[in-house]
């Protein structure tokens, strides 16, 4: 097996592991892994390839969380539907940007989100929250607003968006973290497929790497979901550790991108 295929499988396992463990965030690592570890030369091809791979990995993890009853389906579907509109607009705009500039912006966003993740305090949330005729006037505006905004960012940067969907769902509905994690995977899958379709129309997907990425993602997701059950009581510590990793990767991307501009 060529080294690039092995590295793609390994990268997919890392992304799948984090998706299974905390629902979102794994996808934010996919683009830098494809560019800097796997060696994909075009940032746009890395974005398109990661979008379809992350979407399929998220779908596999969604099935596992759904079996455990961790998905608020009505809230998740409304949020995802609104986000698909945003993702289509965001990915169309993202393709017009210079690839290296897009990576630098991506790294800066990672640093900002990592800071928010690190300092955010966990809360129990409202386990009884439901989207129905009685609650729709209060919940729908928030679900639609956050959905469009998160979807636009997801499409623009070519990421699954789970690290934004989880806090977005909690802010919109006050659902507990475990339900936001499971429900976020509906949006991660939808956003990823929307972005991937847009990039596929432009021929910006390496399908061979997608296959190996997904192969690793399924295995990593299984391990991540199993470990999530063991470490559930320490979810806050886990989120802070992951936030530190996201910040470190973001700093590296900004440094590499800035160095590329200096050299040119």
Q: Is the pTM for the entire model greater than 0.85?
A: no
**Residue recorded with tokens 């579907």:** 77
Helix, strand, coil percentages in the chain from 3-state DSSP, rounded to 5: 80, 0, 20
CB 23 within 8 A of CB 166: yes
Per residue in 42-81, pLDDT (tens digit) is 888 988 898 888 888 888 888 888 988 889 999 999 999 9
Q: How many of the other CB atoms lie within 10 Å of CB of 77?
A: 17
Task: Place 141 in a pLDDT band, splitting at 50, 70 and 90.
Answer: very high
> Measured between alpha carbons, how far is 107 from 228 in angstroms, rounded to an integer?
27
Per residue in 160-205, pLDDT (tens digit) is 666 778 878 988 998 887 788 889 889 888 888 888 888 899 899 9
Whose CA is closest to 87, among 195, 197, 198, 183? 195
């Amino acid at each position: 097996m060529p080294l690039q295929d092995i590295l793609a499988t390994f990268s997919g396992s890392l992304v799948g592991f984090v998706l299974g463990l905390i629902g979102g965030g794994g996808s934010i690592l996919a683009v830098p892994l494809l560019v800097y570890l796997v060696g994909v030369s075009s940032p746009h091809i890395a974005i398109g390839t990661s979008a379809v791979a992350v979407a399929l990995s998220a779908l596999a993890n969604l099935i596992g969380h759904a079996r455990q009853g961790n998905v608020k389906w009505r809230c998740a579907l409304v949020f995802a539907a609104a986000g698909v509109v945003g993702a289509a607009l965001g990915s169309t705009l993202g393709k017009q940007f210079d690839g290296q500039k897009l990576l630098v912006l991506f790294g800066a966003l990672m640093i900002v989100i990592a800071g928010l993740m690190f300092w955010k305090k966990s809360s129990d949330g409202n386990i009884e929250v439901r989207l129905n005729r009685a609650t729709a006037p209060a919940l729908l505006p928030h679900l639609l607003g956050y959905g469009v905004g998160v979807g636009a960012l997801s499409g623009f940067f070519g990421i699954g968006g789970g690290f934004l969907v989880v806090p977005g769902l909690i802010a919109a509905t006050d659902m507990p973290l475990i339900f936001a994690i499971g429900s976020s995977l509906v949006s991660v899958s939808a956003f990823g497929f929307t972005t991937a379709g847009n990039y596929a129309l432009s021929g910006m997907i390496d399908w061979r790497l997608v296959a190996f990425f997904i192969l690793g993602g399924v295995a990593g997701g299984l391990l991540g979901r199993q470990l999530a059950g063991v470490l559930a009581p320490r979810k806050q510590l886990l989120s802070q550790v992951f936030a530190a990793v996201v910040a470190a990767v973001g700093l590296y991307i900004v440094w590499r991108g800035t160095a590329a501009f200096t050299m040119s």
